[in-house]
Chains A and B, each alone.
Chain A
Amino acid sequence: MSEKFDVIVVGAGPAGTSCAYTAAQNGLKVLLIERGEYPGAKNVMGGILYRKQLEEIIPEFWKEAPIERPVVEQRFWFLDKESMVTTSYKGLDWGKEPFNNFTVLRAKFDKWFAEKAVEQGALLINETVVTECLVEDGKVIGVKTDRPDGDVYADVVVLADGVNSLLGKQLGFHKEWKPNEVALTVMEVLKIQKKVINERFNIKDDQGVSVEIFGDATQGILGTGFLYTNKDSVNIGVGTTLSGMVKKKLKPYELLERLKDHPMIQPYIEGAETQEYLAHLIPEGGYHAIPKLVGDGVLVVGDAAQFVNAIHREGSNMAMASGKMAAETIIEAKEIGDYSERTLDSYRTTIYDSFIGKDLKKYKEAAHTFEENPQYFQEYIPLMNEAMHTFFSVDGTPKREKQKKIMAKMTAGRGKLGLAKDMYKAWKAVK
């Protein structure tokens, strides 16, 4: 492998593949390197893929991509021990073209997406680990792989090597992530008959539901659980910041087992058969954790760049958008034959001017606020449940008195001022 490429992309996840696809489509000579047996073999996500950003790469992809179901309903469950307050939105137009988002199974989806990049002319090499970037006079000129004689050269190397991004660390683009900048998530794929899923979730064959679960799902720690419907399986999972997991001495698989056994959850998954158990980190450091994105001959995309909006569970869409933006920058750089940091820097400004930079900036204090103030998850969700219980129980107490009691409970711990402050803080974090 001594030939030289225009672009080497490290990692065939959504970010790397969309970069390889776009670059190859525009006539660049692209090498896409994947360490797994096949693209998707190492990748995990809860399963929600937004339509818009992939559509900009492959129009009407849903007609051939291995998607599970278009999501027509988003539910939010605020769990207490034996109750929950729920809210949801169901929109039937989301079940029609052009759709809003889909549930997907990553091993199937990533494999398909990478094949599309190959159709465009990218060369995909599986089962190959990039062990380091080759640097000469401060410029990245290629990569070293774990294959014999495995050095490969290119004008630009794109780091799409995922949340751990050992290569970004090697180049000094970021320090080791802090335990509060990553969320440890475990999930299971549970086999359930299509007919049973449809009945339990009140949907048709070609409709899906996503459920985000707060409060008791994570025992009050910052984090969420989730339940997503596939064609004939569901994904159930739970994740918290790694710092929260360490601090509370939790075992992630026990947290998941507890969620599966929860009396509010159990009826949805009763009788299911576990097909697979998966674990992964999610980069949730947000705006402040975005590493250096550009160097001489090198760009960083996707999870490796911490492009995840945890509040809206967006990640793979940002990965794809960033991969495409990186490719477009490289195409321009090739036109002028300059791959210096100064030229490639337009990728950075494009990112920060796009929805990626703007959304991450909007929520830049959110994770921090919720981590520093555990009362939101630990106190307010149980209080919400209690308030509903009190208000809707008919026991001869006049409603006005009930309202007074509820208000007294709400303010008992922190006082009226404390409650108001907390509400203001939460609003400020997400405004």
Chain B
Amino acid sequence: MAKTLEDKQYLIRFNCDKKSHLEVLNHDLCATDCPDKACTLFCPGEVYKWEGDRMFVGYEGCHECGSCRIGCPHENIKWEYPKGGHGVVFRLA
């Protein structure tokens, strides 16, 4: 059974676009006004990672659930659907 998120994400098919459909609008805001960096915790694909002093967005592993757009306390994430046919491809459920 898959235990780590890495194992789980490996099981999913992602048909990635070259261009990100997710964008942090103001990177300074993450550094100065967001001590919790909630998106790095609740995102089910761990798309958001705080590295050093900057938010990195690994859009390739996005489940397109919309949680980051709604859950970001500063409405600091621009959220679109990936281009038609791209992004996550669920197969079984």
Residues of A within 8 A of B (CB): 35-37, 40-45, 47, 105-108, 126-129, 145-147, 163-164, 166, 176-179, 182, 184, 186-190, 233, 235, 242, 245-246, 249-253, 257, 260, 269, 272-281
Contact = CB atoms under 8 A, between A and B. Distances in A.
B35 to A, nearest CB: 11
Contact of A272 (B1, B42, B85): B1
Contacts of A179: 70-71
A163 B89 contact: no
Given A108-B92, A187-B93, A242 B83 contact: no
A224 B51 CA distance: 33
A145 B63 CA distance: 21
B75 interface: yes
Given A105-B93, A277-B11, A242 B85 contact: no
Contacts of B3: 257
Contact of A276 (B5, B11, B64, B79): B11
Interface string B1-25: 1110101110110010000000000
Contacts of B15: 37
B81 interface: yes
B31 interface: no
Nearest to A228: B93
A277 B8 contact: yes
Contacts of A252: 42, 44
A182 B85 contact: no
Given A242-B70, A253-B5, A276-B93, 16 more contacts: A37-B89, A42-B87, A47-B93, A105-B92, A106-B90, A127-B84, A127-B85, A242-B71, A246-B41, A246-B42, A251-B42, A274-B11, A279-B44, A279-B67, A281-B66, A281-B70
A281 B11 CA distance: 20
A237 to B, nearest CB: 9
A188 B92 contact: no
A251 B47 CA distance: 12
B88 to A, nearest CB: 7
Given A42-B64, A186-B44, A269-B1, A36 B89 contact: yes
Contact of B92 (A147, A251, A269, A275): A275
A42 B87 CA distance: 9
Contact of A275 (B5, B11, B71, B82): B11
Contacts of B93: 44-45, 47, 105-107, 187, 189, 235, 276, 278
A188 B4 CA distance: 12
11 contacts: A107-B91, A129-B83, A129-B84, A177-B70, A184-B67, A187-B93, A249-B41, A253-B5, A276-B90, A277-B11, A278-B63
Contacts of A246: 38, 41-42, 71, 73
B23 to A, nearest CB: 15
Interface in B29-45: 36, 38, 41-42, 44-45
